[in-house]
Structure 1
Amino acid sequence: MRLTDHLIVISFDCLSSLDFQMLEQLPNFKELLRNGSYCKQVETIYPSVTYPCHTSIITGKFPNRHGVVNNTFLQPGAISPDWYWHRKHIKGTTLYDEAKKAGLRTAALLWPVTAKANIDYNMPEIFANRNWHHQVAVSLSNGSLRYQLDMNRKFGKTRKGLQQPELDDFVLASTVETIIKKQPNLLLVHFTDLDTKRHYHGFSSKEAIQAIHRHDQRLGEIIGALKQAGMYEKSTIVALGDHSALDESSVIKPNILLREKGLLTIDDQERITDWKAYCKSCDGSAYVYVKDPTDAETKRIVHEIFKGIQGESGIESILTGMEAALKGADGSAFLMLEAKQGYYFKEYATGTYIEEISPDDVQAGRYTYASHGYSPDKKDYTTIFMATGRGIKPHINLNSMHLVDEGPTFAKLLGVDLGATDGRIVEELLNL
């Protein structure tokens, strides 16, 4: 049985529990919370990066079960590795798959890992990653062609490539139009303005605060569109975050240590040409892969390298692949490294092992001032879930929940089933 006619899921990337006090004072978040319910201590997944997080939200599973274990693929030597853009990388079903099977109209705007997905109105998050690719052509060929052409014709001038806040302004205009003209039963929207500003200006920067205020205005326009379309009283509105972020002052480059031990090689242009072991960054954490799983000698050297420097090199903890899998991460990795607060990982194989972050590096896009990807066990690192409308009990304040609980709860609202998930239906929030 469906509890709602329309489920509107709005992801504000990098929204933190620490933002909640501010949200309570902003007019549109305040309206959402007035008769809604919330949890301001939502535990995220490991690694807590955007693509695994958003896939966990719509599957109810941890990364090692849904298959999206990082933002980007393990592609040593690639200047810009490919991302997990496509639906085919998700194992099992998703919320939008089950909604479509149930005959519901579906829409997704820049929701991660939806390229080539069976969604009625699909504008996937994907970008041109080769010199010979054009952004518009890449987007059009991986989503709903006519729908995207229409949105670009009407609102394309708003956008300035991938720059923020213009990209989110384009997504907002397309979202409002989609609500009014298409009236989807399931709408998934992903805004990245706040995440971008925190990366390049810091967690509590004025730029990040301005982005939160812009998000409040965006929420207000979405609510206004639902009212204009006559959908508001029949809808469930959810605003959520996927992870928090932590400020950093230093970058760790473990591949330098692997290169020094002869476990990877580079050419004259500092590109990796071969490898036996490789450190794959998840920003606040990192996987260490061994190319040949039977290579006991390489594993011994890798283990010796990182155990020898743990605690004094920016590395807070080291997990085996099995221990990482128990936390929901990729168990095929040999090790998983967790950075201390103030540090994060990059994949560069040249330079110094630990480098302080300078404003010039950030301006050049080489490094950032804040990151995520850290263990959910880090202090003050939870995110937020807020919901109001059809099927939601009013004025419930949950002490805690998990990111993987969101998918099963959404499925219950839509009257569909995600099967065997890692999360639970949060019945305390639902008007059953």
Structure 2
Amino acid sequence: MKRLTEHLIIISFDCLSALDFPIIKELPHFQTILKTGAYIEKVDSIYPSVTYPCHATLVTGNYPNRHGVINNTLLQPGRTSPDWNWFRESIKGTTLYDEVKKANMTTAALLWPITGKADIDYNMPEIFANRPWQNQILVSLMSGTPRYQWELNKKFGHIRKSLSQPELDDFVLESTVDTIMTKKPNLLMVHFTDLDSKRHDHGFSSEEAIAAIHRHNERLGRILEALKESGIYENSTVVLLGDHSALDENKAVSPNVLFKQHQLIQVNPKGKLIDWKAYCKTCDGSAYIYLKNRHDQETYSILKTLLEKWIQEPDSGIESFLTGEQASAKGADGACAFMLEAQRGYYFLEDYEGEYIKEITKEVAHIDKKYTLATHGYSPDKEEYGTIFMAAGKGIQHVTLPHARLVDEGPTFARLLGVSLGDTDGKVIEEILQR
């Protein structure tokens, strides 16, 4: 298969929304892409629309129930900070970077989710120290390319302030520019989270979120300039994308509180979970409900009765629910007993102590980071919840399309680099490619 480009640079602006376009179209570096490139007005995300499943979809062209990354974090009932799907082994089947590497092209990834211990030439995976005894830099070094990361940390580590934004994205930017200048990879995947963080902390349309979009414009400008300085600009394709949108919320719902009241969760006198029959696993705007024993029909029946009752209550926070089979039909994890969708203004937590519904104010969100003012994870069918896609450069024609799906992007990336992801849920977006 013929390659349409020599260098593909995929920039994921986490939480970039279709609703951001009126701002983006006025910013000079985004304008550079839009003037000659392809623009897709609305991209349907996946279910659940959270970052790690989305990024697995971007490199496989498949829905979560097929690529295996069905949530950000693992099902670890009772654990305050569950582990994330950090490692390549979480993804079933092949990926874009696997196929590009097989074709003897060079690959690079900067804070791209689920790339821990992946076979990527220059890899700084997104992973954080999740245990008190772990060191952030060592955890990263051991999960990616040690020398590459060590050199970047030596050059730019002073910019970072742990995981805080915008300093983290500023560090990623300098690392990206350096990688372009020194490595010139055929595939470069970069993940920026500044906008996502500001929306969680301050709300969808907050001043802080708008400022992050403007910072992303400046970051894009630096990347385009680096491509020119390195001499590969004319033979490059630049893709800008969002993985999901977000919605404002001000109430957190904790179904496990009610599960505990109905003896489906047991805790000891100190409040530690010691056993469970059913557990609500959050995906923020949606949630899975799992049975400890998948064949426990008695608990399944109790849950179904409770859910049917709760969705009739206007202030339950639950808009609707799906069976595991129905969830699988939407691409989510069919191993769940049920999947919940939150009402607008609500999202889910895994707490089993305290209030069933917690009112979230700016003060509450500032004090405890588990509370947010905007989030995602909702069904892609929610109104005004689409994300966005732009691309320009070699192999791309100037066109505007009204609609595409997140699953279509991976096969399109593969086509640009002359490789194939095989039989995928998504299809190549032929309309944006030069013939």
Task: Report the TM-score, using the length of structure 2 for normalisation.
Answer: 0.98
Q: Report the CA distance between 1:32 and its aligned residue.
A: 1.0
Q: Report the CA distance between 1:303 and its aligned residue.
A: 1.1
Q: Partners in 2 of 1:85 and 1:269 — Cα distance?
A: 31
Q: Partners in 2 of 1:406 and 1:151 — Cα distance?
A: 29
Within the candidate set 380, 384, 388, 2:384 is matched to: 380
Match of 2:352 in 1: 349
Q: Partners in 2 of 1:182 and 1:269 — Cα distance?
A: 54
Alignment map for 1:420-431 (pairs within 5 Å): 420-431=423-434
Aligned partner of residue 399 in structure 1, secondary structure: strand
Q: Report the CA distance between 1:40 and its aligned residue.
A: 1.7
Aligned partner of residue 3 in structure 2, secondary structure: coil
Aligned partner of residue 339 in structure 2, secondary structure: strand
Letter of the structure 2 residue corresponding to residue 412 of structure 1: R
Q: Partners in 2 of 1:47 and 1:288 — Cα distance?
A: 13
Letter of the structure 1 residue corresponding to residue 156 of structure 2: F
Q: Report the CA distance between 1:202 and its aligned residue.
A: 0.1
Q: Partners in 2 of 1:198 and 1:375 — Cα distance?
A: 18
Match of 1:314 in 2: 317
Aligned partner of residue 225 in structure 2, secondary structure: helix
Aligned partner of residue 271 in structure 2, secondary structure: coil
Aligned partner of residue 108 in structure 1, secondary structure: strand
Q: Report the CA distance between 1:268 and its aligned residue.
A: 3.5
Letter of the structure 1 residue corresponding to residue 82 of structure 2: P
Q: Report the CA distance between 1:114 and its aligned residue.
A: 0.2
Do 1:7 and 1:237's aligned partners in 2 also have CA atoms closer than 8 Å? yes
Match of 1:393 in 2: 397
Q: Partners in 1 of 2:309 and 2:200 — Cα distance?
A: 31
Do 1:202 and 1:208's aligned partners in 2 also have CA atoms closer than 8 Å? yes
Q: Report the CA distance between 1:424 and its aligned residue.
A: 0.5
After TM superposition, the structure 1 stretch with the greater mean CA deviation from structure 2, 304-313 or 314-323, is: 304-313
Unaligned runs of 5+ in 1: none
Letter of the structure 1 residue corresponding to residue 352 of structure 2: A
Do 1:257 and 1:305's aligned partners in 2 also have CA atoms closer than 8 Å? no
* Sequence identity percentage: 61
Letter of the structure 1 residue corresponding to residue 169 of structure 2: D
Do 2:50 and 2:376's aligned partners in 1 also have CA atoms closer than 8 Å? yes
Q: Report the CA distance between 1:372 and its aligned residue.
A: 0.1
Do 2:202 and 2:362's aligned partners in 1 also have CA atoms closer than 8 Å? no
Q: Partners in 1 of 2:115 and 2:132 — Cα distance?
A: 23
Q: Report the CA distance between 1:359 and its aligned residue.
A: 2.5
Letter of the structure 1 residue corresponding to residue 116 of structure 2: A
Q: Partners in 2 of 1:96 and 1:397 — Cα distance?
A: 27
Q: Partners in 1 of 2:85 and 2:171 — Cα distance?
A: 23
Do 1:284 and 1:374's aligned partners in 2 also have CA atoms closer than 8 Å? yes
Q: Partners in 2 of 1:270 and 1:27 — Cα distance?
A: 54
Q: Report the CA distance between 1:272 and its aligned residue.
A: 1.5
Number of residue pairs matched by the alignment: 431
Q: Partners in 1 of 2:332 and 2:372 — Cα distance?
A: 24
Alignment map for 1:7-406 (pairs within 5 Å): 7-312=8-313, 313-363=316-366, 364-394=368-398, 396-406=399-409
Letter of the structure 1 residue corresponding to residue 283 of structure 2: C
Aligned partner of residue 358 in structure 2, secondary structure: strand
Q: Partners in 2 of 1:172 and 1:311 — Cα distance?
A: 48
**Per-residue CA distance 1:361-393 (angstroms, 9 max, x = gap):** 211213000000000000000000000000001
Aligned partner of residue 380 in structure 2, secondary structure: coil
Aligned partner of residue 407 in structure 2, secondary structure: helix
Do 1:311 and 1:317's aligned partners in 2 also have CA atoms closer than 8 Å? no
After TM superposition, the structure 1 stretch with the greater mean CA deviation from structure 2, 373-382 or 302-311, is: 302-311
Do 2:13 and 2:191's aligned partners in 1 also have CA atoms closer than 8 Å? yes
Task: Report the TM-score, using the length of structure 1 for normalisation.
Answer: 0.99
Letter of the structure 1 residue corresponding to residue 106 of structure 2: R
Aligned partner of residue 336 in structure 1, secondary structure: strand
Match of 1:417 in 2: 420
Q: Partners in 2 of 1:270 and 1:280 — Cα distance?
A: 18
**Per-residue CA distance 1:274-294 (angstroms, 9 max, x = gap):** 111000000000000001011
Do 1:67 and 1:91's aligned partners in 2 also have CA atoms closer than 8 Å? yes
Aligned partner of residue 58 in structure 2, secondary structure: helix
Q: Report the CA distance between 1:266 and its aligned residue.
A: 1.7
Q: Report the CA distance between 1:269 and its aligned residue.
A: 3.6
Aligned partner of residue 213 in structure 2, secondary structure: helix
Letter of the structure 2 residue corresponding to residue 402 of structure 1: R
Letter of the structure 2 residue corresponding to residue 407 of structure 1: G
Unaligned runs of 5+ in 2: none
Aligned partner of residue 400 in structure 1, secondary structure: strand
**Per-residue CA distance 1:305-340 (angstroms, 9 max, x = gap):** 111111421111110000000000000000000001
Q: Which runs of 4+ in 1 moved over 3 A?
A: none
Do 1:4 and 1:390's aligned partners in 2 also have CA atoms closer than 8 Å? yes
Letter of the structure 2 residue corresponding to residue 36 of structure 1: G
Q: Report the CA distance between 1:271 and its aligned residue.
A: 2.5
Q: Report the CA distance between 1:358 and its aligned residue.
A: 2.3
Q: Partners in 1 of 2:312 and 2:428 — Cα distance?
A: 39
Q: Partners in 2 of 1:76 and 1:291 — Cα distance?
A: 10
Letter of the structure 2 residue corresponding to residue 265 of structure 1: Q
Q: Partners in 2 of 1:311 and 1:402 — Cα distance?
A: 32
Letter of the structure 2 residue corresponding to residue 192 of structure 1: T
Q: Partners in 2 of 1:336 and 1:300 — Cα distance?
A: 15
Letter of the structure 1 residue corresponding to residue 410 of structure 2: G
